[in-house]
Amino acid sequence: MIRLGYPCENLTLGATTNRTLRLAHLTEERVREKVAENLRDLERILGFNAAHGFALFRLGQHLIPFASHPLFPYDWEGAHKEEFARLGALAKRLGQRLSMHPGPYVNPGSRDPKVVERSLAELRYSARVLALLRAEEGVLVLHLGGAYGDKPGALGRFVENLRGEGEVLRYLALENDERLWPVEEVLEAAEALGVRVVVDALHHALNPGRLSLAEAFRLAFSTWRGRPKVHLSSQDPVKRPGAHAFRVAREDWERLLAALPGPADVMLEAKGKEGAFSPQNGFLGVGLSGEARGRGSAG
């Protein structure tokens, strides 16, 4: 049993949950306009996903642009609370699991206290979004960030700076990356914080550490009480290592299936979003069920 999803926008609909603006234009009127557009498109995407067999969706980090910034101009939680509750109820009714994934600028293990402060603010914002949506299965995915030439020190700061963040930890799941932190080291931080681990198959291929993909999945799955979540993409052949291709290659899909120890939710991180699988290659296309046909389509 595999459920599929994709991040931030839907190319078929021309819809996105990630509209933003420049900091210099950060006025209440402009922000409210972007938020209204993002939430409108979120509703459209949720409906599309339910109709086309997708069960996961990652919200754009700019759902509320600059929400964690000190200059944010209004009480976004109070202003959008009712709309968030309505959309969260819709997501639940349509069987949609929601997540967020702050970018590399969020680094709680930084040596710079200002970076840590900004990182925690962004994580608190992300957790508040999931809480306001009442996303019981919500996941807040985060990389470990920089190592600064001292992995034990960076890991220690990361864990220490997150220990007291109850709402963040409720949703948090840590992810391996393609350069610095393999799954085995991510597991150390996750165990110290009591949170889950998301295995990214492409990152693991580039930075496997001492674990096979099957071993990485097995260890990561033991950190989950609900359905484990994993990431899948293929390498873009003309870009830097770790850059995502437009579609998922057949061999990467089959490698994932062979390594998974049980049911999972798979976030497709291909640039093609809901079109990440190519119908010409026998994979899922729009209109096919992610759960019912996900395994069979790979033959």
**SS3 at position 8:** coil
- How far apart CA 298 and CA 283 sit, in angstroms, is 6
The CATH classification of domain 2-298, taken from the options 3.90.1150.10, 3.30.70.360, 3.30.390.50, 3.20.20.150? 3.20.20.150
Say which residues have a Cβ less than 8 Å from residue 187's Cβ, sequence separation at least 6.
Answer: 197, 219, 220, 223
Cα–Cα distance between 155 and 153 in angstroms, integer? 5
Which helix (H) or strand (E) covers residue 231, if one does?
Answer: strand 229-232
pTM of the predicted structure, to 2 decimals? 0.92
Q: Where are the domains of the chain?
A: 2-298
Q: What is the model's pLDDT at position 283?
A: 52
Q: What is the 3-state secondary structure (H, E, C) of 16-81?
A: ECCCCCCHHHCCHHHHHHHHHHHHHHHHHHHHHHHHHCCCEEECCCCCCCCCCCCCCCCCHHHHHH
The per-residue pLDDT for 194 is 98
- Pairing of the two strands 196-200 and 229-232: parallel
Do the bridges between strand 15-16 and strand 9-10 make them parallel or antiparallel, or are there none, so unpaired?
antiparallel
In tens digits, what is the pLDDT along the chain, a chain of 299 residues? Answer: 899 999 999 999 999 999 999 999 999 999 999 999 999 999 999 999 999 999 999 999 999 999 999 999 999 999 999 999 999 999 999 999 999 999 989 999 999 999 999 999 999 999 999 999 999 999 999 999 999 999 999 999 999 999 999 999 999 999 999 999 999 999 999 999 999 999 999 999 999 999 999 999 999 999 999 999 999 999 999 999 999 999 999 999 999 999 999 999 999 999 999 999 855 444 543 333 334 333 333 22
